């Protein structure tokens, strides 16, 4: 384990907690950008909360992973998901879906209003109907340049599960884009 | 042509555009994490991370704020002020030594303005970059850093000068707006220089503060922290350094003393800040008035911190030392919170020694 790796910093921070500031300095911009991308201005607080949570959980960090970015983005993803769900709870549409018993957890396949507002109408429509676990895997992969292995670390699932989630998500995305009349090669919003 | 990855490219292109975090937000978030660390561990006192002392100058301003437990309170308070634009909690005392009295420079200010004139009149040393070699001593720890500021705005950092040859990742330094603003006021009268400088850094470095309309003490504080970070980079660029000194001359309560350092005549600038942390009640009152949800959360967070960690007013003394002829930054000292309010062992003093010079970026293979 190189002395300057994230894992080494985390290990040292167990005895010397203020060293955790070094991990913050390294990854704050990336975590901030990811949280803001998915949750708008609320993402600022979620990014800060990610590091607070990371500090509390640093003893469980697997030290054979030198780069902590996937782990931090995974913590951020969970916070974002919980935040978006809490924002949407109680809406009439969700209640109706729940009463109809169409899905176990209606928030699982619905782009919540908060997220939709942040993502913009085109992207929100393209991702709507995609289970959140698949959406999370896809966005971690596409927006953060994580490998399948790193997405697995972030979401705490095996790499095979990541592959199937991303594959399923991409099939759904392509189909949705076709329905919406969007050509994938059109990169403008 | 459509290929198998067009959906991923489309998705990537759809990612909402996000500006990088500004200094105030970063400061607030870092302070929140370290405050949490302190509470969780019940540390007797909090010292900045070792790496902080040698990190790039772009972050030095933050590192200075995060030296110790007392400074942590300043960081949180300053971030809240920066975000919310509430009443200042970091105050610089108004004394008879005001930089300007009815627009007339005091003796303190005149000394700085004279140095500004000397710098402007002297020929600029050759080179197209300023090399700043730093040695930071914090408690018993010592670390080094080398910053290379190119005149074109590019910035490189390495822990040692030798490491600059391998530096990668061209970025513009975050103080660039301050550098440019200072260069624009090299020959302006102090009041005009101050106003223009505040306008420039207010719209670029601290957009959330509302600097032009802030109290004079707040303005002075932001001028100070910006100028101190930029003084090293300004060496060898007469207009920049002269402009920076013109603006510093307007700070209330700044004292300037002639002294010697390693046998050379120097000017010692000293600023004593009286820090009065806001009470939890005041912060909650501000939160109730805040219309921005993010700012409201920050204020409530700060109030909660103060509930469990009440902060008494304290003083903090910072002393940069400049070469009396060239204006080169030689030493920066901070008393770590001062003896007045700091229990034994709680404050952490820091001393940074500088070796600044003009160089050719090409000598380092950089451009």
At B92 the pLDDT is: 37
- Hunting for tokens 């207010």 — which residue is that? B202
Q: Do A45 and B40 touch (CB under 8 A)?
A: no
Nearest chain A residue to B69, by CA: A18
Inform me whether the pLDDT recorded for B24 exceeds 60: yes
Interval B261-301: pLDDT, tens: 999 999 999 988 766 666 788 778 877 877 766 667 767 77
Better-scored residue on pLDDT, B131 or A15: B131
CA–CA dist B264, B259 (Å, integer) = 8
Fold of the domain built from segment(s) A120-189: Arc Repressor Mutant, subunit A (1.10.10)
- Chain A residues with CB under 8 Å of B46 CB are 18
ipTM value for the complex:
0.82
Inform me whether the pLDDT recorded for B351 exceeds 80: yes
Mean pLDDT of chain B: 74
Q: B356 near B234, Cβ under 8 Å?
A: no
The alpha carbon of residue B259 is apart from the nearest alpha carbon of chain A, in Å, by 37
Nearest chain A residue to B11, by CA: A142
CA–CA dist A24, B284 (Å, integer) = 28
Q: Do B13 and A188 touch (CB under 8 A)?
A: yes
Interval B161-171: pLDDT, tens: 888 887 765 56
On whether any CB of chain A is under 8 Å from the CB of B51, the answer is yes
Q: Do A21 and B34 touch (CB under 8 A)?
A: yes
SS percent in chain A: helix, strand, coil, step 5: 75, 0, 25
Confidence of residue B30 (pLDDT cuts 50, 70, 90): confident
At A105 the pLDDT is: 44
pTM above 0.90, yes or no: no
Chain B interface, best mutation among A4, A18, A122, by max B CB count within 10 A: A18
Interval B352-362: pLDDT, tens: 899 999 999 99
On whether any CB of chain B is under 8 Å from the CB of A124, the answer is no
Interval B211-244: pLDDT, tens: 888 888 878 888 888 888 789 899 999 999 999 9
On whether any CB of chain A is under 8 Å from the CB of B40, the answer is yes
Phi, psi of B45 (to 5 degrees): -160, 160
CA–CA dist B23, B265 (Å, integer) = 35
Task: Indicate the domain borders of chain A.
Answer: 1-82, 87-118, 120-189
Instruction: Output the tens digit of pLDDT for each of chain A's 189 residues.
Output: 667 899 999 998 888 888 898 999 999 999 999 999 998 888 888 898 899 899 989 988 999 999 999 999 999 999 988 877 766 543 433 333 333 333 344 445 556 566 777 777 888 888 888 888 899 999 999 999 899 999 999 999 999 999 999 999 999 898 888 887 776 554 443
Q: Do B12 and A142 touch (CB under 8 A)?
A: yes
Q: What is the CATH number of domain A1-82?
A: 1.10.1740.10
On whether any CB of chain A is under 8 Å from the CB of B82, the answer is no
């Amino acid at each position: 384990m190189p002395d300057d790796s994230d894992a080494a910093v985390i290990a040292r921070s167990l005895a010397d907690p203020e060293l955790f500031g070094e991990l913050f300095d390294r990854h704050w911009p990336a975590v901030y950008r990811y949280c803001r991308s998915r949750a708008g201005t609320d993402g600022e607080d979620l990014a800060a909360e990610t590091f607070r949570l990371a500090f509390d959980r640093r003893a469980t960090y697997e030290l054979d992973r030198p780069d902590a970015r996937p782990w931090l983005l995974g913590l951020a993803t969970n916070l974002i998901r919980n935040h978006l769900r809490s924002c949407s709870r109680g809406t009439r549409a969700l209640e109706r879906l729940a009463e109809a018993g169409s899905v176990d957890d209606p928030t699982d396949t619905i782009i919540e209003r908060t997220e939709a507002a942040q993502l913009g109408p085109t992207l929100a429509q393209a991702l709507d109907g995609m289970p959140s676990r698949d959406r999370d895997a896809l966005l971690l992969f596409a927006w953060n340049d994580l490998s399948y292995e790193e997405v697995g670390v972030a979401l705490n699932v095996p790499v095979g599960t990541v592959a199937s989630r991303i594959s399923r998500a991409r099939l759904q995305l392509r189909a949705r884009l076709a329905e919406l009349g969007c050509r994938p090669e059109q990169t403008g919003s | 042509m459509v290929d198998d990855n067009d959906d991923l490219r489309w998705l990537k292109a759809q990612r909402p555009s996000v500006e990088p975090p500004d200094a105030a937000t970063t400061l607030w978030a870092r302070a929140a994490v370290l405050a949490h660390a302190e509470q969780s561990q019940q540390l007797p006192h909090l010292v900045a991370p070792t790496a902080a002392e040698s990190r790039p100058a772009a972050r030095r301003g933050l590192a200075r704020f995060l030296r110790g437990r007392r400074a942590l309170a300043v960081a949180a308070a300053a971030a809240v002020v920066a975000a919310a634009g509430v009443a200042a909690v970091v105050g610089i005392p108004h004394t008879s030594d005001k930089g300007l009295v009815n627009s007339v420079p005091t003796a303190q200010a005149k000394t700085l303005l004279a140095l500004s004139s000397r710098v402007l009149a002297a020929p600029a040393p050759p080179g197209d970059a300023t090399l700043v070699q730093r040695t930071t001593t914090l408690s018993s720890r010592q670390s080094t850093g080398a910053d290379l500021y190119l005149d074109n705005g590019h910035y490189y950092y390495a822990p040692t000068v030798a490491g600059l040859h391998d530096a990668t990742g061209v970025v513009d330094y975050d103080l660039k707006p301050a550098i440019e603003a200072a260069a624009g006021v090299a020959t302006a009268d102090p009041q005009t220089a101050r106003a223009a400088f505040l306008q420039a850094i207010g719209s670029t470095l601290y957009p959330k503060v509302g600097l032009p309309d802030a109290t004079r003490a707040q303005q002075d504080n932001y001028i100070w922290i910006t100028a101190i970070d930029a003084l090293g980079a300004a060496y060898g660029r007469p207009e920049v350094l002269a402009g920076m000194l013109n603006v510093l001359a307007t700070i209330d309560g700044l004292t300037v003393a002639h002294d010697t350092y390693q046998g050379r005549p120097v000017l010692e600038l000293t600023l004593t800040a009286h820090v009065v942390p806001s009470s939890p009640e005041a912060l909650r009152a501000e939160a109730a008035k805040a219309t921005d949800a993010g700012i409201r959360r920050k204020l409530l967070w700060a109030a909660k911190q103060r509930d469990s960690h009440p902060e008494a007013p304290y003083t903090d003394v910072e002393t940069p030392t400049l070469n009396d002829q060239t204006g080169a930054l030689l030493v920066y000292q901070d008393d770590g919170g001062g003896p007045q309010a700091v229990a034994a062992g709680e404050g952490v003093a820091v001393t940074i020694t500088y070796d600044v010079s003009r160089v050719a970026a090409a000598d380092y293979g950089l451009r």
